[in-house]
Structure 1
Amino acid sequence: MQQKFNHQPHIGRRILAALIDYGLIYTFIYVFLMSFGTPTTMGGYSITGLPILIPIAFWLLMTIGLESGLGGTLGNSIVGLKAIPQNGRNRKLSFSESFKRHFLDLVDMSFLGLPAILLLKRTEKCQRFGDLWAKTIVVKMSSLETPATSRS
């Protein structure tokens, strides 16, 4: 069943959710590089070959996997937000919808998240680039009808 929402940007919650999600992802990548990487002449670490797929797989699991499999990323779940289709149906996103949302995270989070913040404030349904491409919205979980109430 479709719902009508009073669209709010939830900027503080969305920033906190992103900090949680990407804090975990970056921490994993850092530990992985320090544990399995080769020191470079510039003082960093690098990984080559197939092991480079491990951080990518972790990113896929923590963003797209959790969102399409369980209904939300860890960060969104902690702060009480959920991404749903923009038609307002309370359902988990498909792999494709979630992939589109998160593929553009780099663009949305560039320049300290300014592109996303500007779009959240200026679009009718408070969407960032990833949401616009995926045709999704982010709402408070508490605003969603439960399956029992949506049937009545």
Structure 2
Amino acid sequence: MDIILKPYLTRRIIAGFIDYSCMFFISVILIVTLGTHKGGGNYELTGFPALIINLFWLLFIVGMEQITGATLGNGITGLKPTTLSGSKPSFIQSFKRHLLDPIDMFFFGLVGIITIKNSEKSQRLGDSWAKTIVIRDKK
């Protein structure tokens, strides 16, 4: 398998925006629906219901990547993660990739952009830790 390593920065930024916009809106819906109204526009979500947001993240981001081969954003932008050898990432690799998303997306994605631009294989921190790369999906 010939793997072409490119940064695909614009596609990756759009993909991340799509994925985490969905996460944001679903989180707001869950907080308003399951949370306690504290007056004004404030809501509080504690205990087990607060874990539902984390479980949704696990299913929506990591689970979708495992089932379909890409997150919603990556699928729309024509990207997919793969291992360094070209195979589908394991659950643990997908989990590792996305566990570091908050760091990679810090300061409007600057950390991710810098690491992608300066790594030999155009990897974010999460990709480097998980030993994965992002490529164009030829489907």
What TM-score, normalized to structure 2?
0.94
1:123 aligns with 2:119: yes
Q: In 2, Cα distance between the equivalents of 1:46 and 1:116?
A: 31
Q: Which runs of 5+ in 2 are unaligned?
A: none
Aligned length: 139
Match of 2:59 among 58, 61, 72: 61
Match of 2:133 among 134, 137, 142: 137
Aligned to 2:106: 110
Q: Offset of 1:39 from its aligned partner?
A: 2.6
| 4+ runs deviating over 4 angstroms | none
Q: In 1, Cα distance between the equivalents of 2:40 and 2:126?
A: 34
Report the identity percentage.
Answer: 44
Aligned to 1:7: 5
Q: Offset of 1:5 from its aligned partner?
A: 2.5
What TM-score, normalized to structure 1?
0.86
Report the 3-state secondary structure (helix = DSSP H, G, I; strand = E; otherwise coil) of the residue aligned with 1:126: coil
Kept after mapping to 2: 8 A contact 1:70/1:92: no
Matches within 5 A, 1:1-152: 3-40=1-38, 43-87=41-85, 89=86, 91-142=87-138
For the pair shown, the structure with the greater C-alpha radius of gyration is 1
